Amino acid sequence: MFEGLPRSGSASRSERASPAPSSTSQAGIAGSASMCAAIRSIAAATRARIAAASGSSSGVGEAGGGVADTPPAYAKRRENTSRAAHEPPSPESAASDPHEAPRPRHLPLSFAGVRPPPRREVVHGDAVAWLAERPDLQDSSVIATMPDVSELGVSLERWREFFLGAARAVLLAAPPDGLAVFIQTDNKIEGRWVSKAGLVLRVADELDVPLLFHKIVCRRPPGSLIHGRPGYSHILAFSRRARDDADHPTPDVLPDLGAMPWSHSIGTRAAEAAVTAVRRLSPATTRIVVPFCGLGTILAVANARGFDAVGIERNRKRAEAARTFELEPEPAAKPSI
């Protein structure tokens, strides 16, 4: 029953069957033991050198002597490596570590090649007061169509004072590298010509703001007989630093006003000419300010050309309409037969 178990005080069957080790095998075992002892000795010496180097970098090596200080750059890398094994480095240490790879930065959309849509703001208020509080509007140009005497309902002398003050505010609001553009139509009152272009030129001369160009926009076909108002409008552009490009001239006479969104509109063609002049002559401009914006013809053209736009209008209903006014798409050209 218990035959498979070794008896007390006696050897097992396998032990009884195993032969005694020979002298050759004993020599091999002794050689292996010597090799293992040598490897352990080398490993122990290596660990001692590493420990000595670590001690010198932390100040222990100076007391022990005989071990050179660890180079600062290597010590910095080792410190960061040891710290990273236990916890993530803080943003401050990561930013100051010259040996760590730079982290990717998230760029704004404009740097990624995608520009945000143009913005529009319409202020219900007095345009002259708004401009007077904001001289030298940075990154801006101003396009103004100042109201006629019939729109203000005042005397001619009171209107003239208002017009001169408004022209001064527009010219002072435009920064040195921006444009101040006026789109105005003269008037005839009691048999006398009221030149709005002449009044603007007078103020610009007093402020020493040079004239860049003076264009004419036909309100009626040439040769037409018109009572009350001339058959053309003026587009005058001024700037302290900008210069007109003589190598790339533009038309001085525009054939018509373009589409007229409402009765007092300046016309889309005149608005296009003014906005295009800003794009061409003032690369620094990113925003167009439009005092007396009306229903927003110039605002819509400016947005369509990629500019942010700010309008100021004292009439509440017109200001509300100007916030959402959009240009109607141009009809498709008829195919030629």
Any idea what DSSP says for residue 57? H
C-alpha span between 206 and 143 (Å, rounded): 20
Percentage with pLDDT > 90 across the chain: 51
C-alpha span between 175 and 285 (Å, rounded): 9
Q: What 3-state class would DSSP assign to 234?
A: strand
More reliable by pLDDT, 292 or 74: 292
* Tokens describing residue 6: 């070794």
Helix boundaries (H) for the chain: 13-17, 23-57, 60-64, 72-86, 91-96, 127-132, 149-152, 156-173, 196-207, 268-281, 297-304, 316-322
More reliable by pLDDT, 236 or 104: 236
> How much is the pLDDT for 313?
97
> How much is the pLDDT for 43?
65
How does pLDDT run across 90-128, given as a tens digit for each residue? 444 444 444 444 444 444 444 445 678 999 999 999 999
Q: Can you spell out the DSSP letters for 147-208?
A: PPHHHHTS-HHHHHHHHHHHHHHHHHHS-TTS-EEEEE--EEETTEEE-HHHHHHHHHHHHT
Q: Average pLDDT of 142-160?
A: 94
* Tokens describing residue 153: 């309902």
Check if the beta carbon of residue 196 is closer than 8 Å to that of residue 147: no
Residue type, 189: I
How does pLDDT run across 274-286, given as a tens digit for each residue? 999 999 999 999 9
More reliable by pLDDT, 233 or 17: 233
C-alpha span between 303 and 286 (Å, rounded): 10
C-alpha span between 170 and 237 (Å, rounded): 11
> How much is the pLDDT for 167?
98
Residue type, 270: A
User: Does domain 120-322 fall into CATH 3.40.50.150?
Assistant: yes
Check if the beta carbon of residue 296 is closer than 8 Å to that of residue 311: yes
Half-sphere exposure (CA, 13 Å, Cβ side) for 177? 10
User: Where do you find CATH 3.40.50.150 in the chain?
Assistant: 120-322
Per-residue CA distances from 285 to 138, 197, 240 (Å):
8, 24, 14
Residue type, 144: A
More reliable by pLDDT, 27 or 171: 171
Read off the pTM. Answer: 0.65
